[in-house]
Amino acid sequence: MPPRDPYKYFRIEARDLLDQVAQGVLDLEKGAGGGQLARLLRIAHTLKGAARVVKENAIADCAHAIEEVLVPWRETREQVPRAEIDRILVELDRAEARLKDLSPPPEETAPAQTVAEAGFPAPVHAEEPTLSVRTELTDVDTLLDGLAETHALLSGLRGAADDMEKGRHLADLLLAQLSPRPGAALSGTQKHLFILAEELRRKLSGADRALDQTLGQMDRELGQLRDAAEQMRLVAAASLFTGLERAVRDGARALGRLAEFAGEGGEVRLDAPVIEAVQHALVQMVRNAVAHGIESPAERRAHGKPEEGRVRLRVARRGRRILFECSDDGRGLDFDAIRRAAKAPQASDEEAIRLLLKGGISTSDEVTVAAGRGVGMDVVRDVAQRLGGGLDVRSEAGRGTVFELTVPSSLLALDALLVESSGVVAALPLDSVRHCLRLKPEDFADTGHGLAIRHEQAAVPFLPLAELIAAPRPPAEMRRTAVIVAGREGLAAIGIDRLLGTARVVVHPLPDEAPADAIVAGASLDAEGNPRLVLDPDRLVAAIGLASGSSAPDSRLLPMILVVDDSLTTQMLQRSILESAGYTVDVAGSAEIGLEMAKARDYGLFLVDVEMPGMDGFGFVERIRSDPVLYRIPAIMVTSRNAPEDLQRGREVGAQGYMVKSAFDQNELLAMIRRLTE
């Protein structure tokens, strides 16, 4: 498989920056002032830094040449001569030509829609001028949050509609009281009151109908807007298929085999970060399918199979999780080889699979360190663990193997079961709920470590939700309602007071000032704006298991990192490197925004560019070091400036690390981060 496109984001940013330089130079020629010249210098410097990051020295040299032309005129009031303008335009033409050379071949070019769906505009071709708008994923998330909150407020208005209906009913009762009895005549006052009551009922009936129709229409419109906004931040799974098909084709040819790739579920739309995180694991899965599943043509003929093997990737949604199912029609797993490698001759096939997924297993024939399900499956397993997902394997001799990788999709919006315990309302992701039960005292069993209930012939550990969230525990003699919850570690039951129904909720991260237990994934708001907990089913099951005496996985997280850089290319590169290493990453496009974000969240490290519009990186670090809360957080400066005085300045302001973009090395960066955050 060819390497991942290193210019994916650089082409977008460079195209935008070159357009800005071209327009700025033309304005400069028309007599624009010194402010325009300073702006051009900043743009050229940003282009140079972005080019150095992706090792595109030709464009970086062009940007540097433009800087060299402009710098002598920075401190003068004279107009830049036409000859110098011509020199800049020549460098722009050189950069433009080189940028065109960076375009991927037509057969490997991703559809423009795919790029735009990820939150970025499609590349602009000279022969087809296109107006494009860049939409950041965080902006789309903000829009979705706003729509969801508006939808919640709309739900609150339905209470007003109910009050209107009650008012109409009261008007009916009043009218009935004022109606004349048969044969009786109304006095003038009574007749006047009767007419007023009739008018009140008519007005209330009309308002009730209009409000109900308007609320229904608004509900539909908001739902459509939310769906459209969600589509803006999603990428079709089909964008993965081209690279995977190439990996299958190349792997089969290298081994003298025949194999075809089939992708299913390409219409499923995934969060762009999910696509980015799983693509390497999927490549490893299809490579393993070819190397250790698909037989040679002669062997397949001998077993009555078509000479060409088949590798399939199916993508599907499972509630709030995404399923990536990789299957082949090959020989299946060699369980005897796995048992020998694991030195577990008595292990069953199921136990052999668990040993395989634990990693570190290789055999001379089927599972090798270089290309087998030893190191390769380590990659897949690590991705599953890092994303909070799961990995399962099924295999049948002579029929093939199926690997199932499941990872959580965005928790931005999900369908949830609402429950109440000791006055606290909490939400459970609906796809994690397996059963709801009404319990009596005799339904419980004491295991010696805690209570358990029987569910489908198994003892499921039980704990009241009130104990998990430190709320007052309900009386022991109360009949309890229990919810069976599924997590990565199995099943667990939580005791609650009552079920409140289901709802679609938007999950908000908790502020740093309100730390919560690990079982809390975030909070949502009800129609009145009151917060309610959203529980993480995996950690909920682990916490109940720990309370009942079983072991639980280590829930310690790597520190969150803030990248402060005005270059989109640098942001995306650093974010990709850091997230692939397991870090949670936020990005800020300026030092000013970075300072606001640093004060709002708990970061473990700052990765800062030097040259930025407004406050530069040195100023950012100085401000951090003078802050009584932030001064302990380490900072690394990543910049194109490598002069000794710049390095000294970085040390003086308090940066603990300094990396030059032209010599950027991701392993060195990760090692530096680990050293500073351990």
Mean pLDDT of 320-344: 85
Residue 552 contacts residue 541 (beta carbons within 8 Å): no
What pLDDT, in 10s, does the model give residues 425-466?
899 988 788 889 888 777 777 666 677 887 766 678 888 888
Residue 226 has pLDDT above 50, yes or no: yes
Asked if 315 and 393 sit in the same domain, the reply is yes
Asked if 567 and 431 sit in the same domain, the reply is no
Asked if 623 and 532 sit in the same domain, the reply is no
Check residues 510 and 503 and name the one with the higher pLDDT: 503
Q: What is the per-residue pLDDT for 474?
A: 58
Residue 122 has pLDDT above 60, yes or no: no
Number of helices (H), then strands (E), belonging to the chain: the values are 20, 23
Q: How far, in Å, CA of 557 to CA of 331, rounded?
A: 39
End-of-domain residue from the set 384, 408, 432: 408
The answer as to whether 556 is a domain residue is: no
Closest by Cα among 412, 433, 421, 437 to 500: 421
The beta strands (E) that lie in 273-399 are given as 309-318, 321-328, 390-396
- What is the CA angle 237-395-542, rounded to 5? 70
Asked if 581 and 486 sit in the same domain, the reply is no
Asked if 244 and 226 sit in the same domain, the reply is no
Q: How far, in Å, CA of 568 to CA of 210, rounded?
A: 49
Asked if 252 and 398 sit in the same domain, the reply is yes
What pLDDT, in 10s, does the model give residues 249-291?
878 888 899 999 999 988 877 777 778 778 888 988 898 899 8
- CATH of residue 14: 1.20.120.160
User: In whole numbers, what is the pLDDT of the chain averaged over residues?
Assistant: 77
Q: How far, in Å, CA of 118 to CA of 579, rounded?
A: 17
Q: What is the per-residue pLDDT for 564?
A: 93
Q: Coil, helix or strand for 652?
A: helix
Which structural domain, as residue segments, surrounds residue 442? 413-547
- CATH of residue 569: 3.40.50.2300
Residue 37 has pLDDT above 80, yes or no: yes
The answer as to whether 2 is a domain residue is: no
Q: What is the per-residue pLDDT for 351?
A: 81
Asked if 420 and 517 sit in the same domain, the reply is yes
Asked if 263 and 400 sit in the same domain, the reply is yes
Asked if 205 and 152 sit in the same domain, the reply is yes
Q: What is the per-residue pLDDT for 608?
A: 93
Q: What is the per-residue pLDDT for 108?
A: 42
End-of-domain residue from the set 393, 408, 423: 408
Q: What is the per-residue pLDDT for 277?
A: 78
Tally the domains of the chain. 5
The answer as to whether 3 is a domain residue is: no
Q: What is the 3-state secondary structure (H, E, C) of 168-214?
A: HHHHHHHHHHHCCCCCCCCCHHHHHHHHHHHHHHHHHHHHHHHHHHH
Q: How far, in Å, CA of 279 to CA of 235, rounded?
A: 13
The answer as to whether 1 is a domain residue is: no
Q: How far, in Å, CA of 481 to CA of 440, rounded?
A: 9
Give Cα 259 distance to the centre of its chain: 33
End-of-domain residue from the set 134, 154, 174: 134
Structure tokens given for 17: 């920056």
Asked if 364 and 449 sit in the same domain, the reply is no
Q: How far, in Å, CA of 31 to CA of 432, rounded?
A: 65
The answer as to whether 144 is a domain residue is: yes
Residue 295 has pLDDT above 90, yes or no: yes
Asked if 193 and 341 sit in the same domain, the reply is no
Q: pLDDT category, 125, cuts 50, 70, 90?
A: very low
Residue 153 contacts residue 271 (beta carbons within 8 Å): no
How many Cβ atoms are within 10 Å of 320's Cβ, its own excluded?
A: 19
For the chain, what percentages of helix, strand and coil (3-state, to nearest 5) are there?
50, 20, 30
Q: Coil, helix or strand for 221?
A: helix
